[in-house]
Structure 1
């Protein structure tokens, strides 16, 4: 798919807009044209090759979605590099652990990410950006405009690049998901698996040449541009996004459930097909999308380990009257099985190859309890994992709970509390040591909570952490119920 994309950008209407963006004044501007995007990818490939990054080397990316990030991915694919996707909002300790595990030969970061680690750190913390100084963790180059104090720019070059060694079994991308700071967990996809996922998206969405697709993720950008469509990056505010949807009338729009809800609340009118995922989307939300003008509205079930896995349209989801959340038929090539405890396991051509540092395993343990209908559709019945899903973001408590155990804390948990529309609130339940002043402890916890970045809890509660079982382990379900009662008072 990426080879096809690189060729199509240069040979098929290279003067057409590739990526659009929405300005603060409400106007739509061309960010980059198709031929320019191809040139940028070629230039980055030459520049990376000149830095002696060759087949199998690891490239770290700490970039916001957009044409430069896509060009860097195309360049990395051309050189046969392995890309480690770095999340600047994960907090400095977690990000440092991810970098130590991946060991990138070079980190590409935009000026915003680097400034957040330096002179702009106080401002960045307000936006949940908490970074270590990247330069202390390895070689860094700036992609795009450079601000004072940033690393030197990676300037596109024109030197020849050798032909890529075609190896579908080689590592293509590392995406960190869970684990602890001491032992991070990362999903590894091969070039063949990544291609299979992109083909599945293409066959599902079927973007058409000359149309506009609204969305900002890699799995939106690559298939749409390869088909000859123009991609519009979603505006950041609900009001601007509502205006953008009205102005562009996209044939397809991909929005996470939280963004879709806020856009609809701002009066957005939809056109064509609406796709939503990354968080639960119930039938009522899909119906609201169709009431706002969408011809069809789809919920996509996907995991970092397998994207996408299943999909269901609003009419089928609304017709489901049984228990659980219908997420649809497995997409072509995806196979299912249920473990003894009801956990859903998945495999398929687009499944991750392994977790970094572990042996390959074709079957993915989703952490979701599920049932299968007689015709093979997947119905979710709740999560087995401790993961908390907030605003379409996966938060793994085990990653951050150790930071809460400061002097004066006897026990601490991060739990999810059900919120409206299937979302969750993240709550820290802290049990103080006997005799500890809660007011002083709250002050001392400010630092650890700030360092959690985008995983900072919505609420901090003091109380007794429930225990269960013969081993008296913390009972997360009981803790969540306790927090829900306290917050409802």
Structure 2
């Protein structure tokens, strides 16, 4: 599909490709198809001149947008692989990840370098506590260079013709996921698994030429642009995002649940089909999206290791009356099974090839407990999130969906260590803006009573901490928050 995208961009040079938004919500063209094609050609030549070729690795720390997409196209054309670096991970984590991926060159925009604070010393090859620093590779700045940034990537060099696009399979992208600073973990996708994932997205979303799509991820940009559809990058401000949605008239929108909640709080109206993932999407959230104008509202179950794996529309999710969180039937080509311990395992053409430094494995251990209900995946909670109270194993994911009554924004069940060495089970519920707390407590009484032996020891109404790039609920932080509030209650009662 990346090859198809390159042809599409060249054929439709004048057509808008990537759209941006001003603070007032005015839609503007950030790059035409021709701009992207020219930029990809320039990056391809510049990287080729730096010796990047088949089997090479390029670290990429560039904000989503035209430059990031053009870099990915250039790396793909040269038969190299891109290691995606998150500037917000912190210098220690970044250095550990660089040491694992060992890129031949790191490309970073000035903003990423300012956030990370690592590129300048790395470029100068000084002050880093890494014995093999010289093997980590140099850094080059993409886009506007600010004082203190690494040297700019030279786009003036025009060496001999770069190699023809590569047809055979091979590593395409490295995406870092779970792991520690001392032992980072990275997912390796091949050209074929990446293509399979983008093909699945295309069949699922069905982008039509002309009418724009709203979304900023690679899996939105590539299939949409390859189909002749312009893509609008979501505004960072929720207020501007709401204005953007009103003016854009998007045929499809992909936003994370936190982005959706923030936009809804600003009175956003939706059009076409809306998709959300990267964090749990409750029935209530999908319902609010449809009530705000969307024709359809879909929750997407996806992992870094396999994107996308399953999807469910609001109507089907709302009709589900069983325990757990229905995330839908596996998408075409995806195989699902439950291991002996109840852990969901997935496989398929879009599955990652391996973890960097490890042997290939066709099955992905998701870390989610799940069951198959008439061929549909129903999540029952994260394996590691199990709470042991007394002699009972309690899996929060079985019960959390039932806590999303009207007026609830988010809900978690977390364990809090007790003085006797046991755990207390606490329901931490985040009220929706403007919700009446007394009425909310009354509405929660019924679902809490139905939890039987898993009924929580306490109910707290509080904002749930979020973490990570996708702003997922942070269970560890929520547990600490619950512990503090319970301790404060005990002190005040004494």
**TM-score for both structures, normalised by structure 2:** 0.78
Query: Could you tell me which residue of structure 2 aligns to residue 4 of structure 1?
Result: 4
Which digits, 9 at most, give the CA deviation of each residue in 1:339-384, with x for residues without a partner?
111100000000000111111000000000001112x000000001
* Greater relative contact order (Cα < 8 A, sep 6+): 1
Query: Could you tell me which residue of structure 1 aligns to residue 229 of structure 2?
Result: 229
Indicate how the Cα distance of structure 1 residues 426 and 20 shifts in structure 2: closer, same or farther if over 3 A, else same.
Answer: closer
Structure 1 residue matching 2:281: 3-state secondary structure: coil
Structure 2 residue matching 1:186: 3-state secondary structure: strand
Query: Could you tell me which residue of structure 2 aligns to residue 167 of structure 1?
Result: 168
Mapping of 1:25-174 within 5 angstroms? 25-118=24-117, 133-135=121-123, 136=125, 138-157=137-156, 158-159=158-159, 160-168=161-169, 170-174=170-174
Q: Distance in 2 between matches of 1:192 and 1:456?
A: 29
Q: Distance in 1 between matches of 2:361 and 2:301?
A: 21
Correspondence for 1:425 among 465, 470, 487? 465
Residue 167 of structure 1: how far off its partner (Å)? 1.9
Query: Could you tell me which residue of structure 1 aligns to residue 14 of structure 2?
Result: 15
Gaps of 5+ in 1: 119-129, 390-415, 428-451, 462-476
The answer to whether the 8 Å contact 1:419/1:425 transfers is no
Which digits, 9 at most, give the CA deviation of each residue in 1:247-287, with x for residues without a partner?
11100011100000010110101000000000001111111
Mapping of 1:132-281 within 5 angstroms? 133-135=121-123, 136=125, 138-157=137-156, 158-159=158-159, 160-168=161-169, 170-281=170-281
The answer to whether the 8 Å contact 2:212/2:231 transfers is yes
Q: Distance in 1 between matches of 2:107 and 2:466?
A: 31
Residue 29 of structure 1: how far off its partner (Å)? 1.5
Q: Distance in 2 between matches of 1:424 and 1:364?
A: 29
Residue 425 of structure 1: how far off its partner (Å)? 2.6
Larger displacement relative to structure 2 (309-318 or 24-33) = 24-33
Structure 1 residue matching 2:185: 3-state secondary structure: strand
Residue 456 of structure 1: how far off its partner (Å)? 13
Residue 426 of structure 1: how far off its partner (Å)? 6.4
Residue 172 of structure 1: how far off its partner (Å)? 0.6
Q: Distance in 2 between matches of 1:18 and 1:91?
A: 33
Which digits, 9 at most, give the CA deviation of each residue in 1:194-230, with x for residues without a partner?
0000000000001010110000000000000000001
- Superposed CA RMSD in Å reads 3.0
Residue 482 of structure 1: how far off its partner (Å)? 3.9
Indicate how the Cα distance of structure 1 residues 291 and 134 shifts in structure 2: closer, same or farther if over 3 A, else same.
Answer: farther
Residue 488 of structure 1: how far off its partner (Å)? 7.6
Q: Distance in 2 between matches of 1:45 and 1:324?
A: 48
Structure 2 residue matching 1:385: 3-state secondary structure: helix
Aligned length: 411
Which digits, 9 at most, give the CA deviation of each residue in 1:165-213, with x for residues without a partner?
3222x11111111122111111001111000000000000010101100
The answer to whether the 8 Å contact 2:178/2:184 transfers is yes
**TM-score for both structures, normalised by structure 1:** 0.78
The answer to whether the 8 Å contact 2:18/2:30 transfers is yes
Larger displacement relative to structure 2 (222-231 or 378-387) = 378-387
The answer to whether the 8 Å contact 2:119/2:149 transfers is no
Q: Distance in 1 between matches of 2:487 and 2:21?
A: 42
Structure 1 residue matching 2:5: 3-state secondary structure: helix
Structure 2 residue matching 1:182: 3-state secondary structure: coil
Q: Distance in 1 between matches of 2:253 and 2:471?
A: 27
Gaps of 5+ in 2: 126-135, 387-395, 398-425, 433-462
Q: Distance in 2 between matches of 1:43 and 1:147?
A: 21
Residue 385 of structure 1: how far off its partner (Å)? 3.4
Structure 2 residue matching 1:380: 3-state secondary structure: strand
Indicate how the Cα distance of structure 1 residues 426 and 453 shifts in structure 2: closer, same or farther if over 3 A, else same.
Answer: closer
Query: Could you tell me which residue of structure 1 aligns to residue 486 of structure 2?
Result: 485
Structure 2 residue matching 1:53: 3-state secondary structure: coil
Q: Distance in 2 between matches of 1:339 and 1:279?
A: 23
Q: Distance in 2 between matches of 1:305 and 1:357?
A: 15
